[in-house]
Structure 1
């Protein structure tokens, strides 16, 4: 029943009523947060800090926890799922079926993000552009098993448009994954660098200007 009521609450157009109802259902939504009209199915808990925003027309399916830090934002038309459930006796990692976003982290538009193994996005990170795919579970052809591992974006890192990140990959602090690139399974991409290609490789040192992180430059 709680799951169905959460689904209903997210479809309401009235922001203040929606937040009050979600908090009564056991979620933790700050009064200054914004929660748009979204399709939510079987999500156990939302935590939205001061000024956090979830825009309209996102889909959230099957996650245990969604946590947005202060000022973090999910814009429009993204699909979040936890598409794989570990079997009896299989280990559940710390971030299993969790989306965790730090302060002032952003996910823009039209991305597909599998959070089965966990997606951990640190402060001031961006998943920009459109059509990037984040896969935290994938088939391992060597032994026929399923790899379920979290993907991590360290502080101030950026993912450009149409990228792919595979299970266990890490984008280092202040690094940029260039448009159309793929971070391979368990690949660690060095901090302060531009990475590109399939699989991604380090192309050059990189220092991202502070103004790049200012959302107002892009949304007005």
Structure 2
């Protein structure tokens, strides 16, 4: 039934989708939020003022999907969780299969986001470019079992094209992870440019970078609500 309603919603005119989501799905959707033609299946959904979910996303099996004010998920992203209680992750009983974007955080185009555990983008954080992977589960080779760990992207940080972010890692505030890098540990230094496999600090970044100074009213370049959305 949940999938049937999700499919029905993408067939509705864009102006009707927020009301449909509020009344029939029980979502908390601000009147100024926008929902494109995307499949969205989650237990709880909150879309803040000006939040945008663009077209052709597949978002499924989440406990919670939450977008703060001005947060955006652009298009052609595959975001998948796994409901609690499955035997696959019995060694991670406290996992939280959720995706949270704080105010003005963004996920751009064509990314793979594994939400078997929590993925959290803080204010103005961006998964930019295309074809990055965020993983929240992995095979523990020592214990021969599947385990999960949350992923956190700090505020005003940017993950560039084609990166891999492994389970249980974090990127500190005001950092840039270079294209093609692999983050497999918890990074610790703010205001830092990281690069490589594994990602390592290359140089400090000046706090005056305009990206680090994005204000609450900064217009986004995602463009998720174009024709056909």
Q: What TM-score, normalized by structure 2, do the two folds share?
A: 0.86
Instruction: State the shift of 1:17 in Å.
Output: 1.3
Q: Is the 8 A contact 1:83 1:114 kept in 2?
A: no
Alignment coverage as a number of residue pairs: 216
Q: Which runs of 5+ in 2 are unaligned?
A: none
Range with greater deviation from structure 2 (120-129 or 209-218)? 209-218
Q: Which residue of 1 aligns with 2:28?
A: 28
Q: Is the 8 A contact 1:73 1:104 kept in 2?
A: yes
Q: Which residue of 1 aligns with 2:194?
A: 195
Cα distance in structure 2, aligned partners of 1:84 and 1:175: 32
Q: Is the 8 A contact 1:137 1:147 kept in 2?
A: yes
Write out aligned runs for 1:1-220 (5 A). 1-9=1-9, 11-24=10-23, 25-40=25-40, 42-83=41-82, 86-87=86-87, 90-93=91-94, 96-184=96-184, 186-207=185-206, 209-211=209-211, 213=214, 214-216=218-220, 219=223
Instruction: State the shift of 1:12 in Å.
Output: 2.7
Cα distance in structure 2, aligned partners of 1:211 and 1:106: 13
Cα distance in structure 2, aligned partners of 1:152 and 1:3: 28
Q: Is the 8 A contact 2:6 2:39 kept in 1?
A: no
Q: How has the CA–CA distance of structure 1 residues 215 and 109 changed in structure 2, closer, same or farther, with 3 Å as cutoff? A: farther
Q: Which runs of 5+ in 1 are unaligned?
A: none
Q: How has the CA–CA distance of structure 1 residues 189 and 162 changed in structure 2, closer, same or farther, with 3 Å as cutoff? A: farther
Summarize deviations over 1:36-72 as a string: whole Å, max 9, x none. Answer: 00123x4212110000000000011211110000001
Q: Is the 8 A contact 2:162 2:180 kept in 1?
A: yes
Q: What TM-score, normalized by structure 1, do the two folds share?
A: 0.90
Judging by fraction of residues, say which structure has more strand: 2
Summarize deviations over 1:177-213 as a string: whole Å, max 9, x none. Answer: 11100000x4224211001100111111013623574
Instruction: Compare relative contact order (CA 8 Å, sep 6+) and give the higher one, 1 or 2.
Output: 2
